[in-house]
Amino acid sequence: QLDSTQTRAKTLAGLGGKEGTVVLAEKQTSGRGRLNREWHSADGGLWFSILLRPAIQPSQVPQLPLIFSIAVADALEKTGAVTCKLKWPNDVWLAPKKPKSKFKKVCGILSEMSAESDKVNWLVTGIGINVNNKIPPALRKQAISLHEALGHKANRSELLVNLLERMEKTYEDFLKNGFNSLRKTYLHRSLLTGKRVTVTELTRTYTGIAESIAPDGSLLIRDKTHKLRAVLAGDITLSSSPLPVRRRGETGDDQGGGENQNPSNISHPPNTPAPNTPR
Torsion sign across C-alpha atoms 266, 269, 270, 273: negative
Q: How many chain residues bind ligand BT5 (CB under 6 A)?
A: 27
Q: How far is the CB of 6 from ligand BT5 (least distance, A)?
A: 4
Residue 87 or 229: which CB sits closer to ligand BT5? 87
Please give the helix or strand (H or E) that residue 71 lies within, else none.
helix 63-78
Q: Is the peptide bond before 136 cis (omega within 30 degrees of 0)?
A: no
| 171 makes contact with ligand BT5 (CB under 6 A) | no
Q: Which residues contact 52 (CB under 8 A, 6 or more apart)?
A: 19, 20, 64, 122, 123, 124, 125, 171
Stretch that binds ligand BT5, among 106-114, 153-161, 178-186, 250-258 (CB under 6 A): 106-114
Question: Which residue of 17, 33, 62, 217 would you call a contact of ligand BT5, by CB under 6 A?
Answer: 33
| 232 makes contact with ligand BT5 (CB under 6 A) | no
Residue 44 or 269: which CB sits closer to ligand BT5? 44
Residue 44 or 178: which CB sits closer to ligand BT5? 44
Rounded CA-CA distance 134/22 in Å is: 24
| 105 makes contact with ligand BT5 (CB under 6 A) | yes
Question: Which residue of 10, 13, 34, 58 would you call a contact of ligand BT5, by CB under 6 A?
Answer: 34
- Alpha carbons within 13 angstroms on the beta-carbon side of residue 17 total 19
Question: Which residue of 40, 134, 195, 226 would you call a contact of ligand BT5, by CB under 6 A?
Answer: 40
Residue 98 burial by Cβ neighbours in a 10 Å radius (0-12, 13-18, 19+)? exposed
Residue 5 or 170: which CB sits closer to ligand BT5? 5
Secondary structure (DSSP) of 127-171: EEE-SSSPPPGGGTTTB--HHHHHTS---HHHHHHHHHHHHHHHH
* Local structure of 12: helix, strand or coil: helix
In Å, what is the CA distance from 66 to each residue of 90, 188, 207? 6, 13, 22
| 174 makes contact with ligand BT5 (CB under 6 A) | no
| 164 makes contact with ligand BT5 (CB under 6 A) | no
Question: Which residue of 10, 13, 17, 28 would you call a contact of ligand BT5, by CB under 6 A?
Answer: 28
Stretch that binds ligand BT5, among 39-47, 154-162, 208-216, 251-259 (CB under 6 A): 39-47
In Å, what is the CA distance from 218 to each residue of 10, 108, 234? 26, 18, 10
Q: How far is the CB of 261 from ligand BT5 (least distance, A)?
A: 28
List residues near ligand BT5 by CB under 6 A.
4-6, 28, 31-34, 37, 39-41, 47-49, 90-91, 105, 108-110, 126-128, 130, 139, 143
